[in-house]
Amino acid sequence: TGYPTRWEDQTKYRGGWVVDGQRQKSLRLRLQGKWGTLSNIFYNPYLPTLDDYFEPWTYDYQNLINAPLADEQPTARAISMVTGKYMDTIEAGPNWDDDLGGSQVYANNDPNFDGASDEEMRQ
């Protein structure tokens, strides 16, 4: 469902524009105006967190380069770029769901399809 997770969810991140006013319809940013920008200049509670992006990682390439000759192929374990510790599981990352973008799992969690009928979801 995107990167960061649910990045198109306008209610969660308060992105996009809204129509303001009854008679004189004008557009305004959903998140903030002039004073909101000033008050949130150093901290914005609606921005994605590290959990939404998932922890960046690299691999232990030295294990591949320095591995002794053996019958088994050496592996490069994932290492967190935040903590420097080995990571057991990687659950998401950039372009994680690109190949699965049309699957029902992602379609059911896509905020753009909220309120769509079953027939619309099948198309």
Residue 38: which pLDDT band, with cuts at 50, 70 and 90?
A: confident
Q: What was the pLDDT predicted at 64?
A: 86
pLDDT of residue 103: 65
| Whole-number pLDDT of residue 85 | 94
pLDDT above 60: residue 101: no
Distance of alpha carbon 100 from the chain centroid: 15
The residues, any chain, with a CB within 8 Å of residue 48's CB and separated by 6 or more, are 4, 5, 7, 13
pLDDT, position 58: 92
The reported pLDDT for the residue numbered 24 is 74
100: pLDDT confidence band, cut at 50, 70 and 90? low
pLDDT value, residue 16: 79
Among 56-60, 94-98, 103-107, the range with the most confident prediction by mean pLDDT is 56-60
Question: What is the pTM (predicted TM-score) of this model?
Answer: 0.56
pLDDT of 98: 66
